[in-house]
Amino acid sequence: MMSMMSQSRLLLVGCGKMGGALLQGWRDNIPDLLISILDPDFPDAQFRMIDELKGQGSFGCIVLAVKPQIMEETVRGLTDFALPSTLVISIAAGKQISFFEDLLGSMSPVIRVMPNTPAAVGCGMSVLCANNKVTSGHKKLAQGLMETVGLCAWVDDESQMDAVTAVSGSGPAYVFHMIEALAQAGISAGLSPDLSMMLARQTVIGSGLLAAQNPDIDAATLRQNVTSPGGTTEAALRVLMSPDAGLTNLLTRTVLDAQKRSIDLAKN
């Protein structure tokens, strides 16, 4: 897999937070990968404008990491640099595979990826979905690229990407808000704001690390390991796990609303 990636000329279009996280992962883990960067604002970019790519030939893989609002204009400008075999990988939320097929041709191999922001620290979760022109070699290339910034999974049904977006794509925001909420609860219980925020942040960080280091132990067991019969945690969980007003009910409504919004965005 490594030799396949190192032999492929890759064009990264857009080097903001997510594109930059990917670039760092590639540079750290695939040093022989030939990467060209197209971004008007990124200091290390070889190219600022699409016109500057003229004379550069084609690329084996083009990774699109620009905002959805400018995706159509960007892709139209890149058609001269994509061979029929060029793999196009999009990490833009809400842009379906058919969007790229309409612009590039129905024979183009396209992979849609939904990563998340923990990719910036090498702990991302990326879910990939491919059209029927993607080969096993393309899949190995895409997975190898995304695994440099975290874990990967594949779905065959593209409609599942809306749920993926709602769970792992938007999920870091839910966790960060939990830190905010837990810190505020600590303040209500009498702690100082600084101490309460320290406790909330480190508790979430440590719990995530504990789960990561024990992949064979399910979340329910990890929860039970903290919960002594008749203790403080059990009292707290009676509130948090209430069937009607508990966290599962709240997060289910959260994810379903986010999924609906993702479906609506894909229609625009």
pLDDT of residue 2: 45
Residues 6+ apart with CB under 8 A from 156: 129
Share of the chain above pLDDT 70, in %: 97
What are the tens digits of pLDDT across the range 17-43?
Answer: 999 999 999 998 888 899 999 999 999
The CATH number of residue 231's host domain is 1.10.3730.10
* Contact (CB, 8 A) for 63 and 16: no
DSSP 79: G
Average pLDDT score, the chain: 93
The CATH number of residue 94's host domain is 3.40.50.720
Domain boundary among 132, 165, 198: 165
From the CB of residue 234, how many other CB atoms can be counted at a distance below 10 Å?
12
Domain match, 101 and 214 both: no
Q: Which amino acid is at 164?
A: V
pLDDT of residue 93: 84
Residues 6+ apart with CB under 8 A from 122: 25, 148, 149, 150
Domain match, 34 and 154 both: yes
The CA angle 91-76-126, to the nearest 5 degrees, is 5
Sign of CA dihedral 250, 251, 256, 261: positive
Domain match, 237 and 187 both: yes
Domain with 244 in it: 171-267
* 235 φ, ψ (degrees, to nearest 5): -65, -40
Domain match, 157 and 175 both: no
Domain match, 183 and 156 both: no
253 pLDDT higher than 50: yes
Number of independent structural domains in the chain? 2
| pLDDT grade for 7, boundaries at 50, 70 and 90 | low
Domain boundary among 123, 145, 165: 165
Nearest to 253, CA basis, from 166, 145, 158: 166
Partners of 153 in the beta sheet?
A: 127
Predicted TM-score of the model (pTM): 0.91
Share of the chain above pLDDT 90, in %: 85
Token duo for residue 151 = 């874990």
Domain match, 144 and 192 both: no
Domain boundary among 165, 191, 221: 165
Domain match, 23 and 134 both: yes
Partners of 12 in the beta sheet?
A: 37, 63
| pLDDT grade for 267, boundaries at 50, 70 and 90 | confident
Token duo for residue 190 = 């009498």
pLDDT of residue 8: 67
* 230 φ, ψ (degrees, to nearest 5): 75, 5
- The residue whose two tokens read 């009607």 is 244
Give the C-alpha separation, 203 to 72, whole Å: 43
Domain match, 38 and 142 both: yes
Partners of 154 in the beta sheet?
A: 128
